[in-house]
């Protein structure tokens, strides 16, 4: 009796769910949701064509160093890099003396406590320190950026789909709103204080264009610093900060594929040897 009642209750539950699902599907077919401006005008990222892309991708240390220079002179004014330490720069070709000089000369110093008075103080950065945040806390960051919070960039290329391409496209994607958008969606005009960028999810971003002109950064290696070049370079740098062991991972994956290939060939050979005298 109990089993029959349980089965009946279960069948009723499934029936109700089926009715609800049918109603949802019917509504979606008969009354489809109106397209939004974001759905129509949002663009997928353009390829940055970085050397680190692909199964056998490797970092170009010269490019990554140029990207670090762009971050240092442009992005570091607003964006933190809290999961990266100054000493990590040795992995992209900087000598220890260079890293020490970079840390010591970094504009923003590390928060500290005066041992004599117990009051808040600052000290010079050391290679073992993480890159310091440009703001003392979130409130200060929002106050300086029209209430928008600049995200930390350490893992940005891992946090976004097609991360390196996304960063490159976003930085170079600022433009005026197309007339078609304003014609089809009159209420989608970019609000004051925001900037139109079709590579951003809702089309309007609080960050102003970070790269405004060619030559904004003077590269130490003499590379011509066009806006496109600077965008690619900083995308390469942020790819490295998010996954500094990318080359080792690619090498391990390639070795695993080679091993699997050899193993399959040996297994096939063993199979042929074991069953060679067996007639089918």
For 34-62, what is each residue's pLDDT tens digit?
678 888 889 999 999 999 998 889 999 99
Given a cut of 80, whether residue 27 has pLDDT beyond it is: no
Q: Is the pLDDT of residue 276 over 80?
A: no
3-state SS, residue 198:
coil
Is 78 known to sit in a ligand binding site? Answer: yes
Q: Is residue 49 part of a domain?
A: yes
- Is 230 part of any known ligand binding site? no
CA 201 from centre of chain: 14
- pTM more than 0.85: no
- Residue-wise pLDDT for 188-244, tens only, equals 899 998 999 999 999 999 999 999 999 999 999 999 999 999 999 999 999 999 999
Q: Is 207 annotated as a binding residue?
A: yes
Q: What is the pLDDT of residues 156-190, one digit of tens each?
A: 999 999 999 999 999 999 999 999 998 988 888 99
If 0-12 CB within 10 Å is exposed, 13-18 middle and 19+ buried, where does residue 51 land? middle
Question: Is the residue at 134 inside a domain?
Answer: yes
Q: Over the range 252-269, which residues count as b (16 or more CB within 10 Å of their CB) and which as e?
A: eeeeeeeeeeeeeeeeee
> Is residue 144 in a domain?
yes
CATH number at residue 215: 1.10.760.10
Question: Does residue 10 lie within any of the structural domains?
Answer: no
CA atoms of 24 and 157, how far apart (whole Å): 37
Counting every residue, how long is the chain?
A: 280
Q: Count how many domains the chain has.
A: 1
- The per-residue pLDDT of the chain, averaged, comes to 90
Between the alpha carbon of residue 46 and those of residues 14, 128, 226, 232, the distances in Å are 46, 36, 17, 11
Give me the domain span that covers residue 223.
37-84+130-248
In a domain, 277, yes or no: no
Position 268 confidence tier, pLDDT thresholds 50, 70, 90: very high
The reply to whether 161 sits in an annotated binding site is no
Residue 158 lies in a domain: yes
Asked whether residue 1 carries a pLDDT value surpassing 70, the answer given is no
Residue 230: inside a domain, yes or no? yes
pLDDT band, residue 119 (cuts 50/70/90): confident
Q: Is residue 156 part of a domain?
A: yes
């Amino acid at each position: 009796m109990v089993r029959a009642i349980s089965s009946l209750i279960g069948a009723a539950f499934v029936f109700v769910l089926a009715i609800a699902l049918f109603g949802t599907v019917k509504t979606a077919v008969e009354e489809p949701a109106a397209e939004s401006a974001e759905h129509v005008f949002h663009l997928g990222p353009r390829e940055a064509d970085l050397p680190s892309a692909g199964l056998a991708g490797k970092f170009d240390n010269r490019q990554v160093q140029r990207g670090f220079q762009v971050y240092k002179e442009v992005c570091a004014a607003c964006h933190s890099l809290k999961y990266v330490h100054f000493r990590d720069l040795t992995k992209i070709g900087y000598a220890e003396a260079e890293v020490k000089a970079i840390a010591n000369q970094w504009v923003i110093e590390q928060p500290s406590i005066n041992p004599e008075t117990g009051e808040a103080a600052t000290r010079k950065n050391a290679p073992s320190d993480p890159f310091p945040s440009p703001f003392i806390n979130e409130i200060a960051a929002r106050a300086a950026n029209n209430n928008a919070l600049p995200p930390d960039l350490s893992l940005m290329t891992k946090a976004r789909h097609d991360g390196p391409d996304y960063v490159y496209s976003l930085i170079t994607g600022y433009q005026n709103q197309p007339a078609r958008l304003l014609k089809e969606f009159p209420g989608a005009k970019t609000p004051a204080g925001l900037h139109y960028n079709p590579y951003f999810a809702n089309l309007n971003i609080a960050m102003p264009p970070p790269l405004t002109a060619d030559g904004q950064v003077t590269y130490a290696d003499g590379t011509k610093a066009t806006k496109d070049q600077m965008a690619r370079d900083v995308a390469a740098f942020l790819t490295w900060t998010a996954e500094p062991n990318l080359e080792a991972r690619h090498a391990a994956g390639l070795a695993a594929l080679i091993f699997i290939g050899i193993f399959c060939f040996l297994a096939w050979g063993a199979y042929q040897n074991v069953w060679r005298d067996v007639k089918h």
